[in-house]
């Protein structure tokens, strides 16, 4: 029996349409399955926690965007005890892009039903405080960060632009549109970063006029920006990018170079490889994990979970 967790609302309702097609295929081929639909924000975490509590569950198949995958991963108690199948249908699809997964839903389903290649993936975790709780954590599969990139994610979620562009299959453009408006309204600020290096030593660095900083498990975020070109999700290393000190007009010209990963050659772009990174800013900044908003925080700490999760590649 295959277990599916479906976000019917992904990409403005495409999730339901795609599921209908896949369900027909499962029925025609007499493949037994059970399906659970997400009904509200964070529901996928609860469903995943509930489903993974069943020791007989070996493979959980997720149909949705990066946000749905994030919620599912956040809900799994024992990462090493489950195999993940993923059918990507979001608008940014950074996880599927970085992992080279098929973005054709039927092809992705066929790979999951007859898997031949697997990857063992690190999962990131972001820790922070809230007013009511001294310790909160949220996992990430792709990236987590604060500043400009997170402010774009916050704004895209509330913007009607994404819903409109998703209907035209141009959802990725919503990130570009919102990024342009955010660039002109944001004020870069100082940021202190404490890195636990691969050797175990600690490095403290103060940056000025920072646009954003992100900890990345995958190479790309934001719909294909290859911010950390060296990132490898299986290498037990967290990659970090800090962008500081550019005039706004230069940032605008620089962003497109990140699609190819060429931004790293510019002064003001800093990348690191580490075990853990603590980002501290003098003022609260937008924070995200895999594009899902985590409200405003002055400090977050990002690291990798000790266990890996098995993902079906093809
Ligand atoms: N039934 C639902 N109705 C509305 N929102 C939902 C529902 N189920 C889940 N969600 C929310 O949808 C968001 C995630 O959507 P998802 O990532 O799957 O698609 P997307 O936003 O189109 O793609 P991407 O994240 O790649 O841009 C999450 O914030 C999740 O909490």
Give per-residue pLDDT as tens, 8-57.
Answer: 998 878 899 999 999 999 999 999 999 999 999 999 999 999 999 999 99
Q: Is the CB of 41 under 6 A from ligand 1?
A: yes
State the complex-level ipTM: 0.94
In this predicted structure, the answer to whether residue 165 has a pLDDT above a threshold of 80 is: no
What does the pLDDT average to over 163-183?
Answer: 76
What number does the ligand 1 atom closest to the CA of 70 have? Answer: 17
**Model confidence band, residue 190 (pLDDT cutoffs 50, 70, 90):** very high
Backbone φ and ψ of 250, nearest 5°: -70, -40
What residue's CA is closest to ligand 1, atom 14? 67
Q: How many A from CA of 186 to the centre of ligand 1?
A: 26
- Alpha-carbon span 145 to 81, nearest angstrom: 28
Residue whose token pair is 């699809």? 93
The CATH number of whichever domain residue 61 belongs to comes to 3.40.50.10330
Kindly state whether residues 134 and 113 are assigned to the same domain.
no
Kindly state whether residues 86 and 52 are assigned to the same domain.
yes
Query: Percent of the chain, pLDDT > 90?
Result: 80
Kindly state whether residues 164 and 117 are assigned to the same domain.
no
In this predicted structure, the answer to whether residue 287 has a pLDDT above a threshold of 90 is: yes
What number does the ligand 1 atom closest to the CA of 14 have? Answer: 22
Kindly state whether residues 25 and 73 are assigned to the same domain.
yes
Cα R_g (the chain), whole angstroms: 19
pLDDT value of residue 171: 67
Kindly state whether residues 184 and 61 are assigned to the same domain.
no
Would you say residue 311 lies in a domain?
no
Q: Is the CB of 222 under 6 A from ligand 1?
A: no
Structure tokens that stand for 137 in this block: 């954590």
Of the listed ranges 225-229, 251-255, 304-308, the one predicted with least confidence: 251-255
What does the pLDDT average to over 138-165?
Answer: 87
Kindly state whether residues 156 and 300 are assigned to the same domain.
yes
Domain that holds residue 214: 124-306
Q: Is 0.90 topped by the overall pTM?
A: yes
In this predicted structure, the answer to whether residue 260 has a pLDDT above a threshold of 80 is: yes
Number of domains in the chain: 2
Kindly state whether residues 196 and 273 are assigned to the same domain.
yes
What does the pLDDT average to over 293-313?
Answer: 96
Task: List the one residue out of 314, 300, 311, 306 whose CA is nearest residue 146.
Answer: 300
Kindly state whether residues 213 and 233 are assigned to the same domain.
yes
Q: List b or e across 275-288, with b for residues whose CB sees 16 or more CB atoms inside 10 angstroms.
A: ebbbbbbeeebbbb
What does the pLDDT average to over 97-116?
Answer: 96
Kindly state whether residues 14 and 150 are assigned to the same domain.
no
Residue whose token pair is 């977050």? 300
């Amino acid at each position: 029996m295959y277990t599916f967790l479906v976000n019917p609302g992904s990409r403005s309702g495409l999730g339901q349409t795609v599921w209908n097609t896949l369900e027909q295929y499962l029925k025609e081929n007499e493949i037994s399955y059970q399906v659970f639909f997400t009904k509200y924000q964070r529901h996928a975490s609860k469903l995943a926690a509930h489903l993974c509590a069943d020791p007989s569950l070996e493979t959980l198949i997720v149909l949705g965007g990066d946000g749905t995958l994030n919620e599912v991963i956040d809900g799994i108690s024992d990462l090493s005890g489950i195999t993940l199948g993923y059918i990507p249908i979001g608008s940014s699809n950074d996880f599927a892009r970085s992992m080279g997964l098929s973005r054709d839903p039927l092809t992705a389903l066929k790979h999951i039903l007859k898997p031949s290649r697997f990857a063992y993936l690190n999962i990131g975790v972001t820790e922070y405080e809230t007013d009511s709780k001294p310790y909160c954590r949220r996992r990430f599969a792709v990236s987590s960060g604060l500043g400009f990139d997170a402010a774009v994610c916050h704004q895209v979620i509330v913007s009607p632009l994404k819903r409109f562009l998703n209907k035209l299959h141009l959802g990725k453009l919503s990130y570009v549109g919102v990024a342009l408006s955010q660039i002109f309204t944001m004020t870069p600020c100082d940021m202190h970063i404490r890195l636990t290096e691969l050797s175990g030593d600690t490095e403290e660095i103060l940056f000025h006029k920072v646009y954003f900083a992100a900890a990345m498990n995958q190479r790309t975020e934001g719909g294909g920006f290859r911010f950390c070109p060296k990132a490898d999700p299986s290498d037990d290393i967290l990659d970090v990018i800090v962008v500081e000190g550019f005039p706004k007009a230069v940032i605008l010209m620089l962003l497109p170079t990140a699609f190819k990963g060429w931004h790293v050659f510019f002064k003001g772009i800093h990348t690191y490889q580490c075990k853990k990174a603590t980002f501290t800013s003098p003022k609260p900044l937008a924070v995200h994990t895999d594009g899902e908003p985590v409200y405003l925080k002055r400090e977050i700490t990002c690291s990798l979970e000790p266990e890996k999760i098995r993902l079906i590649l093809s």
